[in-house]
Amino acid sequence: MPALLEVDQLKIDARKDDGSLVPIVKGVSFSVESGEVVALIGESGSGKTTIALSALGYIKPGFEFTGGEVRLTGQDVIAMTPAQKRQFRGQRVAYLAQSAAATFNPAFTIGAQVTESAVLHGQMSQEAASQRAESLYRALELPDPERLGSRYPHQVSGGQLQRLMAAMALCGRPELLVLDEPTTALDVTTQIEVLKAFKALIRQEGSAAIYVTHDLSVVAQIADHIVVLYAGEIQEYGTAEQVINRPGHDYTRRLIAAVRPPPAAGQGDDLSREHQRDVPALMVKNITAGYGKRSRGTPEVKVLRDVNVSIERGQTVGVIGESGCGKSTLARVMSGLLPASEGDVLLDGESLQPDLRKRSRVELQKMQFVFQMADTALNPRQRIDHILGRPLEFYLGLKGKEKRQRVDELLHIVELPQEFAARYPEELSGGQKQRVNLARALAASPEVLLCDEIISALDSIVGANVIELLKRLRKQTGVSFVFISHDLSTVASFADEIVVLYAGRVVEQGRTDRVLSPPYHPYTRLLIASVPKLRVGWLEETMETQEAKAGIDRVVKLTETGCPFFNRCPLKIEGTCDREFPPVRNLGEGHTIACHRSEDELKC
């Protein structure tokens, strides 16, 4: 009896413009048994998605199958005619893309889209398919399964949409699921919710799955077997338990080393006193800001409420929270891109104009913004030397030879070869672009760097390298960092201080080790508990904790009264927490928690 899917010496090449072939996948073999989850793990460019797509007999334009076979129950899918491929795709093998938001058509109801493939293939009647969809909604623990099908994609949350995508794929009872990084773009709390639902459903349906990801911790939770890929070749192939606990290959060990340690007490760097002065490098006082029309100075949608943060010279303040909590807005307020409606931004103890257009060039120079997506933050029509040269010219008045020299130095600082000066951004890889992005901010010789999720879009090894680079820069230059991320592990490994934002309010702030050790704010506890650990079986344990039960799979509510975290809090006090705004408890050394519960109650 052959395995469900056998990939046998698969070779895939890309055809270049001049007609020559570049090998992308170099003879990869593995197999997937029924009911088994096989994870393909590797960095971008390792060929993992290309291999996964070949299970559907699909190949990206410009790529060619040049050898080997992909057999689904003994039948070679590569050799099939387009008509045969159409028949088995969606029916026997289903594909789940990374972004649910992009997969669902906003113009059709969820039900119509979930059942479409099964009905189209003539597997079931519309009625049977709708029933099947409803049972899947139940299995995925989606709210209101009876009426969910008649709603539209924008009416459900991101995590729910991600789970609905699984329902879409599973509706036609496929034998094999191909999941392409389905949780990569999600918040940690949403990620667990989706992972848990996927895992339960795959078990229940008995379908096999290929899980493509670059995140080892996620793989540890869901996979039976792991295939570690690098540059189109298998580096290691074994059971999840074996690959994670006893990695046999160097590359696997490097991947594991790049997984940032789970946040725990005792982390965070020591304050480097040498750069310190009396006045904080940057301080925001009682900031309230938001978007939309302003009536009497207050914006329609308040994103930040009464936020106070101070960044000492040479220090790093990590700002953490789920998407929509106002992290990026805080950085935009600091930089002046979004003028605050109330409150003050102080640079070196001096108050800045809220609008950046009214700030002086020197003030602008001292604070630099590093954008999240290096792909879009670098002008595709400018060469790297122009991108880096402009701030030198603009702020420091450097010209000609001096400028060129400084550009070379900057490239050196971010560990890029000097030849890159003559390249365009599209000729660089993601990590290289992020380095240029960083170098551009450094070119201004700033005192404060605002880093907005700068490593979120990078692979783990590349991200770890960028973090190392940031640490070195901090030591060498004494620059202060505001480091915004939704990834607590990253922040914990880098920041001296942590600010936890929830629904635009600071719920906890203080030195990193203080924030990461009890007493916690219940939300901080939830965040810490949600960071996946590189351990088989972690997911099940976590789902049993009270934080997870109370806080996962709930959406953030912006409230005018009471504690914003009320509806997700395991320690809530009915009648108090929903009515009164929580008091800010000072626990010493600048560690504050905004909660109605006392210090002792929060400790346990």
Binding residues (CB under 8 A) for another protein: these are 16-17, 43, 45, 231, 245, 256-257, 261, 269, 335-337, 356, 359, 361, 364, 368-369, 371-373, 376-382, 390-391, 394-395, 415-416, 424, 426-429, 431-432, 440, 444, 461-462, 464-465, 468-469, 471-472, 534
> Among residues 55 and 484, whose Cβ is nearest to another protein?
484
> Among residues 100 and 458, whose Cβ is nearest to another protein?
458
**CB of 262 vs another protein, minimal distance in Å:** 11
Per-residue burial over 219-245, b = 16 or more CB atoms within 10 Å of its CB, e = otherwise: bbbbbbbbbbbbebbbbbbbebeebbe
Q: Parallel, antiparallel, or unpaired for β 505-511 and 497-502?
A: antiparallel
**CB of 454 vs another protein, minimal distance in Å:** 12
> Among residues 72 and 534, whose Cβ is nearest to another protein?
534
> Among residues 334 and 506, whose Cβ is nearest to another protein?
334
**CB of 528 vs another protein, minimal distance in Å:** 18
SS3 string, 395-446, reads: HHCCCHHHHHHHHHHHHHHCCCCHHHHHCCHHHCCHHHHHHHHHHHHHHCCC
> Among residues 82 and 380, whose Cβ is nearest to another protein?
380
**CB of 557 vs another protein, minimal distance in Å:** 28
**CB of 415 vs another protein, minimal distance in Å:** 5
State the CB neighbour count (10 A cutoff) for residue 48. 28
Q: How many angstroms separate the CA atoms of 49 and 179, rounded? A: 9
**CB of 426 vs another protein, minimal distance in Å:** 6
Residues 6+ apart with CB under 8 A from 444: 365, 368, 391, 395, 396
Tell me whether residue 29 is exposed, middle or buried, using C-beta atoms within 10 angstroms of its C-beta: 0 to 12, 13 to 18, 19 or more.
middle
Alpha helices in 426-571 (DSSP H): 430-443, 460-477, 488-494, 512-515, 522-530, 538-544, 546-551
> Among residues 316 and 432, whose Cβ is nearest to another protein?
432
Residue 174: closest CA among 204, 145, 205: 205
| Phi, psi torsion values for 521, nearest 5 degrees | -75, 145
**CB of 365 vs another protein, minimal distance in Å:** 8
Please report which helix (H) or strand (E) contains residue 582, including its range.
none
User: Distance of alpha carbon 124 from its chain centroid, rounded?
Assistant: 37
Please report which helix (H) or strand (E) contains residue 209, including its range.
strand 208-213
User: Distance of alpha carbon 535 from its chain centroid, rounded?
Assistant: 20
* CB-CB contact of 315 with 373 (8 Å): no
> Among residues 255 and 507, whose Cβ is nearest to another protein?
255
**CB of 491 vs another protein, minimal distance in Å:** 16
> Among residues 42 and 174, whose Cβ is nearest to another protein?
42
**CB of 380 vs another protein, minimal distance in Å:** 7
Tell me whether residue 322 is exposed, middle or buried, using C-beta atoms within 10 angstroms of its C-beta: 0 to 12, 13 to 18, 19 or more.
buried
> Among residues 369 and 565, whose Cβ is nearest to another protein?
369
> Among residues 112 and 439, whose Cβ is nearest to another protein?
439
**CB of 231 vs another protein, minimal distance in Å:** 7
Q: How many angstroms separate the CA atoms of 576 and 567, rounded? A: 13
Q: Percentage helix, strand, coil, to 5, in the chain?
A: 40, 25, 35
Q: How many angstroms separate the CA atoms of 593 and 563, rounded? A: 12
**CB of 126 vs another protein, minimal distance in Å:** 32
> Among residues 468 and 540, whose Cβ is nearest to another protein?
468
Structure tokens at 23: 């090998």
**CB of 88 vs another protein, minimal distance in Å:** 27
> Among residues 395 and 566, whose Cβ is nearest to another protein?
395
> Among residues 119 and 455, whose Cβ is nearest to another protein?
455
Q: How many angstroms separate the CA atoms of 203 and 192, rounded? A: 16
State the CB neighbour count (10 A cutoff) for residue 492. 27
Q: How many angstroms separate the CA atoms of 359 and 126, rounded? A: 62
In this structure, which amino acid lies at residue 59? I
> Among residues 180 and 453, whose Cβ is nearest to another protein?
453
Residue 168: closest CA among 208, 194, 196, 132: 132
**CB of 337 vs another protein, minimal distance in Å:** 6
Output 596-604 pairs: Cβ under 8 A, ≥24 positions apart: 596/563, 597/522, 597/571, 597/573, 599/519, 600/519, 601/571, 602/518, 602/519, 602/520, 602/521, 602/522, 602/571, 603/518, 603/519, 604/518
Q: How many angstroms separate the CA atoms of 268 and 256, rounded? A: 20
**CB of 600 vs another protein, minimal distance in Å:** 31
